């Protein structure tokens, strides 16, 4: 029988790194988005929709995709950390964690529907 030992210096490193990489991706996306908003004229429905559909020389869909995936990963790790710290009974923590994952996947699905029907 294989027993995986979940202790040691490198356990959790991937999540730690993912948290930072996704943070940087979202920070850059945020700054670029604010720049695009400030660079554009007064907001109308047409310009607002065009910004998401084909803004930033057509790179906006890629930017929103990166952002949505980053939020998904970042929020999962963050919520998992919070739940690990404050929810002690294992069954309750697991239930909250599963709910968090399902909720985040549902949110990502909705985001995809909104952004890719434009």
Pick the closer one to other proteins by CB: 95 or 114: 114
Orientation angle between helical segments 90-116 and 60-86, nearest 10 degrees: 170
Contacts with other proteins, residue ranges (CB under 8 A): 20, 23-24, 27, 30, 44-45, 48-49, 52, 71, 75, 78-79, 82, 100, 103-104, 107, 110-111, 114, 118
How many helices and strands in the chain, by DSSP H and E?
Answer: 4, 0
With tokens 């399902």, the residue in question is 102
Q: Closest distance between other proteins and the C-beta of residue 69, in Å?
A: 14
Pick the closer one to other proteins by CB: 59 or 99: 99
Chain mean position to CA 49 = 22
What is the rounded CA–CA span in Å between residue 74 and residue 89? Answer: 24
Q: Closest distance between other proteins and the C-beta of residue 91, in Å?
A: 21
Sign of CA dihedral 77, 20, 53, 116: negative
Pick the closer one to other proteins by CB: 11 or 116: 116
Q: Closest distance between other proteins and the C-beta of residue 11, in Å?
A: 18
Pick the closer one to other proteins by CB: 27 or 92: 27
Q: Closest distance between other proteins and the C-beta of residue 57, in Å?
A: 19
With tokens 């559909």, the residue in question is 53
């Amino acid at each position: 029988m294989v027993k995986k030992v979940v202790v040691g210096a490198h356990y959790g490193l991937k999540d730690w790194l993912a948290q930072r990489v996704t943070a940087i991706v979202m920070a850059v996306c945020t700054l670029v988005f604010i720049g695009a908003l400030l660079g554009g004229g007064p907001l109308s429905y047409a310009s607002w929709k065009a910004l998401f559909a084909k803004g930033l020389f057509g790179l906006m869909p890629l930017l929103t995709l990166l952002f949505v995936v980053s939020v998904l990963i970042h929020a999962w790790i963050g919520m998992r950390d919070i739940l690990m710290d404050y929810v002690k009974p294992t069954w309750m923590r697991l239930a909250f964690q599963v709910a968090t994952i399902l909720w985040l996947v549902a949110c990502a699905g909705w985001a995809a529907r909104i952004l890719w029907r434009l």
